[in-house]
Structure 1
Amino acid sequence: MNYIEYQDKVLERKDLEFKFLNYFKNHQYTVIDLHFIERLNWQQLTQDDLESMSTRSIWKNGQNFFALRNDWTDQLQHYARTFDLNFKRAVYAGPIANNEHISTNLGIEVFNPSYEDMLTSFQYMLKFIKEEMQQPVDFAVIGHYQLLNLLLSDTEQTPEILQLINERNISELSRKLSETHPLVNLLKQPTHLQLDYIPSLIPNDHPTYLSILRWSEELKRAGIESIHLDITTMPPKSYYIGSFMQIFKNDQSEPIMSGGHYDGEIEGFGFGIKVD
């Protein structure tokens, strides 16, 4: 492992951070920074916090516990437990640490957002990726964290069924649920065709479907024609409640950009770009 980065790579990354912050500052986003080291208050830790401990760098100093930041949105949730956020839109750039790997995260958040706020933030991010980063966008993955509730009853959402969905084990799901179950029929379709198939399975006037439909239309308007549906069983944190999306290049397995709608200590909609 190389622990030292040299001149050109350092300057390129710092220049990208500056461009990102300045770009969104010019669009009336408040530039913020938070300490890379978080002091953890054990009385305030949630189940989400406890479940993320295995991926975080944590240590004790006296009676205090500390951890390296592993997610900007999560850190803002922690901050909002104690302090008021006196801004509507925020932009940040800085390190995150996961599983002892440090990368730079460029991100924005819009708090208590309207749909127009969410759409505008997406448009700004996509423009930055295409024009400032000179990155092509080949396809998108979208979904909604409430979609599974329209496809499975509460009694069907057992740990076993959810695990089979994660594994995309269609044959076993067919046996457990039935060959004609709506979820089984949906998973049998190629992911890039599932958006066209799902209206036959769920109420077309349901807010969850309308949200997915609206975002798919916006992606197409932005020139992204290849759109895949993600049937996910578990959000990264329990406060993620609504639509989410990821933007990809064909030659990369990691998304260029990802984001979603959340409602925890604060409600917001955020997008992030991870730079290794």
Structure 2
Amino acid sequence: MLFEQNNHHILDKKHKEWEFLHHFTHLGYDLLDLSILEEFKWDRLSPDDLKTMTNRYTWQSNDSLLSLRSDWTDSIVRYRKKYKLQTSKVAYSGPVYPYNQEKMQFGVEIFSESISKQQDSMKELLDYIQTSLNQKLSVAVISHYSLLKKLLTKDDLEDPDIKHLLRERNLDGLIHQLGTEHPVVQLMSQPVPDQLHFAKAKFPDLKESVNEIIEWSAILEKKNIPTVYSDLFSLPAQSYYKGIFLQFYTDQLVEPIVTGGQYSSPTKAFGMAINLTDLTY
């Protein structure tokens, strides 16, 4: 009986994967299936590569560094550059191996500068989560990765102490490092619900980015997500993330069920991934 239950569980998981890929091919996405094994050359490792190697399973083979795939977007960015991928929309499914764990991801990427097309892709993925996976999204967090670049110097952005304080939202520490008159300190000193409008009114250079956050937030509210709020102090995990970044949560999970955003590859692009667990998969 134990094997019978296990058989049904495995078949159900495989069916969900097939269903996802089938669903998005009907929406005009091309499918991409990449090896979970990535090969890097020591003399070609970028700053992003070096930073993420601490979160990968890696081993050396002659003059190459081998790693299990830790992120689908990163792999697709590499593949697109290497083979000049000729498609505007990609769907994928498969495991990733961030440090000390394995995750199954379903995701989409769209290579277009059209914001409306990027937003349509987001809505298509959210619709799939809410209908086919029957998951109720309770919270959406929206960030914009150009904000801090306009408020901090390059040296400040690369300062590990300041980056740590930003991740911790440590206002006292940032006051000590930057001073009370620094724009980041002024902005973080405001109540969270007021920060977005304070940024728009106080810092004209942020107006465009703030308006983008407001536009995307309005779309999310129409998708019946109960709580949508902005986080103005997020730092990108990879340098190629350039604009809007999104995280979605359910009531059942502490970690976000969906993450993604705008990036450069080498032109503008947008991607989102569903992080599947036993509760959702």
Q: Same fold (TM over 0.5)?
A: yes
Deviation of 1:204 (Å):
7.8
CA contact 1:194–1:228 (8 Å) conserved in 2 = no
Partners of 1:58 and 1:175 in 2: CA distance: 38
The question of whether the paired residues in 2 share the 8 Å contact of 1:195 and 1:228 is answered with no
Q: Label 1:6 to 1:193 Cα distance change in 2 as closer, same or farther (>3 A).
A: farther
Cα distance between partner residues in 2 of 1:49 and 1:255: 24
Partner-residue secondary structure (3-state), 1:39: strand
Which is worse superposed, 97-106 or 181-190?
Answer: 181-190
Q: CA deviation at 1:116?
A: 1.4
Q: Distance in 1 between matches of 2:68 and 2:157?
A: 35
Q: Which residue of 2 aligns with 1:92?
A: 92
- Give the total of aligned pairs: 272
Alignment check: 8 A CA contact 2:196 2:210 kept: no
Q: CA deviation at 1:148?
A: 1.1
Where does residue 255 of structure 1 map in the other structure?
A: 256
Q: Distance in 2 between matches of 1:182 and 1:63?
A: 46
* Partner Cα distance (1:258, 1:110) in 2: 15
Which residue identity is paired with 1:184? Answer: V
Maintained 8 Å contact 1:144/1:243? yes
Partner of 2:13: 13
The answer to whether the Cα contact below 8 Å between 1:242 and 1:260 also exists between their aligned partners in 2 is: yes
User: Aligned partner of 1:246: which letter?
Assistant: Q
Unpaired runs of 5+ residues, structure 1, are: none
Q: Does 1:132 align with 2:138?
A: no
Sort the Cα spacing of 1:189 and 1:7 in 2 relative to 1 into closer, same or farther, 3 A: farther
> How far apart, in 2, do the equivalents of 1:45 and 1:73 lie?
17
Identify the residue that residue 114 of structure 1 maps to in structure 2: 114
Q: Distance in 2 between matches of 1:24 and 1:192?
A: 36
Between Structure 1 and Structure 2, the one with more helix by share is 2
Q: Any idea what SS the aligned residue of 2:246 has?
A: strand
Aligned residue number for residue 67 of structure 1: 67
Partners of 1:124 and 1:13 lie apart in 2 by 21
Q: For residue 200 of structure 1, what is the aligned residue in structure 2? A: 201
Match of 1:149 in 2: 149
Structure 2 partner of 1:213 = 214
Moved more, 214-223 or 125-134: 214-223
User: Is the 2:57–2:68 Cα contact (8 Å) retained in structure 1?
Assistant: yes
State the distance in 1 between where 2:146 and 2:137 align. Answer: 27
1:194 positional shift: 3.1
**SS class of match (2:137):** coil
TM-aligned CA deviation for residue 105 of structure 1: 0.9
Instruction: Supply the distance in 2 between the matched residues of 1:92 and 1:189 (Cα, whole angstroms).
Output: 41
Deviation at 1:142, TM superposition (A): 0.6
- One-letter identity of the residue aligned with 1:11: L
CA distance in 2, matches of 1:150, 1:158: 14
Q: Which residue of 2 aligns with 1:224?
A: 225
Q: Distance in 1 between matches of 2:41 and 2:206?
A: 43
**Any stretches of 5+ residues in structure 2 without a counterpart?**
none
Does the 8 Å CA contact 1:95/1:104 hold for their aligned counterparts? yes
Q: Are 2:58 and 1:58 equivalent residues in the alignment?
A: yes
For 1:149, the aligned partner's letter is K
CA RMSD of aligned residues (A): 2.4
Q: Which moved more, 1:180-189 or 1:119-128?
A: 180-189
